[in-house]
Structures are given as structure tokens and as C-alpha cells.
């Protein structure tokens, strides 16, 4: 975690310095990373206590040091200039490109775990939520675009009301592709060269695809519960 903290400081301080952000930005980035670290320590299986997180999970943690500084920018939208939006796109792209690396390492080293998969998935969902909020706050679309990031969390909350939704879903290439499409779409929408009209049209298409994917999963869960 110490190495991750140093990486976070590099990204956060660079962002803070390049775009003249207030000091509160750094404090918030450190606090959010500390919260993330606390959650990782709390949920990490005891099997990791002797050998540490492992290389795959360290890659995921490295991605988190990119995602956290971007997420905190949601609280500083008054600073959301065009150069900062390009910076968000570049850093987010790097985080997304690294997304497949942790899973590949886990498979190659035979260290795949439910914890690692969950850690990776939650980080992806968190990034999508942050990007959807930034697209809305940048004025590229209406607030409805945040639904792209909120749907997964609404699904989780619904699972507490309807336990059927808590059933584990089988691995799905469709789900992975749809997730990639959402991230790529939000980055396109955030681009300063993209008009609000184009951003709204593209985001509407991405949201429709996401709703379709959730509908397919919901149908599978209902049929499984009936059987």
C-alpha cells in the first residue's frame, strides 16, 4: 500500500500543479485513497496475509492511484477547463488500458481470486461513475448521463430488496464489451471538441446498450430463480 500511496501522490500533485487546483484537492485525494486502502485491508482474504496482495492486485491498486485523483475532480468542476478535460481523458485511457493486465497476470500466474475479480470490477464501476458525473458537470449532456454510472449501484441496492438479484452471474463477454463501450463513450463525450448534441446522442446510445445488457442479466436471474 505504501508504494501505491507514493504513486497516488505523484499523480495527484501533478494534476494539482498543472491545473492550479486548491490545496483541498490534495487532501481529498489522500482521504479517498485512505478510504480505499481501508476497504482493501478489511475485505482482503487471510490467504494474502503472508504473501501480500500479489502482482495482479498490485496492478489493480496501481490503476486506483490513477482513478482516485480523477474522481476527486468531481468536487472541483469550477476548474474543469478544456486542458483539464484532455488530462482526464489521457489518464483515464491509461487506467482503462491497464484494466486487462491485472486479469491476464492473475491467469498466467494462477493467482486468480474472487477478491481480485471484485476489486477490479468495483474500480471499473467507480471510474465509470466518476466519468459520467464529469460529463454531466462539464455541460456536455444532461444529468441523466449519470445513470450510466449509477445503474450498477442501483442493481446492487435492489439486490437487498430482491435477493434473487444477488445470485452470481456467469462470466459474459457481452458484459465486458458493454463495460468497455461505456468507458470509451464517456471519454468521447468529455472531449472539448465534441458538441453537446453529439455527446448526448452518443451517450444515449451507450445508455441504451447498458440497459439492454442489464435486462439480459435480469432475465437470466429470474429464470434461474424459477428453476
Q: Tell me the per-residue pLDDT of 10-55, one tens digit each, with 9 for 90 and over.
A: 999 999 999 999 999 999 999 999 999 888 877 777 655 555 667 7
Global pTM reads 0.92
Query: What's the CATH number where 61 sits?
Result: 1.20.120
- Band of the pLDDT at 223, cuts 50, 70, 90? confident
Domain count across the chain = 1
Q: Which residue has the higher pLDDT, 188 or 77?
A: 188
Q: Domain of 23?
A: 2-226
Query: What band does 90 get if pLDDT is binned at 50, 70 and 90?
Result: very high
Which pLDDT tens digit goes with each residue over 100-137?
Answer: 787 777 777 776 777 777 888 899 999 999 999 999 99
Provide the pLDDT for residue 204. Answer: 97
Per-residue pLDDT at 184: 95
Tell how far CA 217 is from the center of its chain: 20
The predicted-structure confidence for 132-191, as pLDDT tens digits, reads as follows 999 999 999 999 999 999 999 999 999 888 888 888 888 788 988 999 999 999 999 999
As a whole number, mean pLDDT of residues 201-211 equals 96
Amino acid at each position: 500500500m505504501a508504494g501505491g500511496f507514493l504513486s497516488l501522490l505523484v499523480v495527484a500533485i501533478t494534476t494539482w500543479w498543472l491545473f492550479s487546483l486548491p490545496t483541498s484537492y490534495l487532501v481529498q485525494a489522500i482521504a479517498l485513497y485512505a478510504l480505499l486502502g481501508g476497504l482493501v485491508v478489511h475485505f482482503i482474504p487471510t490467504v494474502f496475509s503472508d504473501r501480500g496482495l500479489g502482482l495482479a492486485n498490485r496492478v489493480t491498486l496501481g490503476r486506483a492511484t490513477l482513478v482516485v485523483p480523477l474522481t476527486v475532480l468531481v468536487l472541483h468542476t469550477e476548474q474543469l477547463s478544456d486542458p483539464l478535460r484532455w488530462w482526464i481523458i489521457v489518464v483515464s485511457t491509461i487506467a482503462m488500458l491497464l484494466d486487462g493486465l491485472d486479469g491476464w497476470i492473475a491467469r498466467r500466474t494462477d493467482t486468480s481470486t474472487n477478491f481480485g475479480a471484485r476489486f477490479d470490477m468495483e474500480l471499473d464501476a467507480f471510474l465509470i461513475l466518476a466519468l459520467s458525473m464529469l460529463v454531466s458537470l462539464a455541460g456536455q449532456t444532461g444529468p441523466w448521463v449519470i445513470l450510466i454510472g449509477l445503474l450498477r449501484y442501483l442493481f446492487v441496492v435492489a439486490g437487498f430488496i430482491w435477493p434473487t438479484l444477488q445470485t452470481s452471474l456467469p462470466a459474459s463477454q457481452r458484459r465486458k464489451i458493454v463495460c468497455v463501450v461505456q468507458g470509451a463513450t464517456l471519454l468521447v463525450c468529455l472531449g472539448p471538441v465534441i458538441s453537446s448534441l453529439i455527446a448526448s446522442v452518443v451517450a444515449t446510445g451507450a445508455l441504451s446498450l447498458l440497459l439492454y445488457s442489464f435486462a439480459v442479466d435480469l432475465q437470466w436471474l429470474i429464470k434461474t430463480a424459477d428453476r
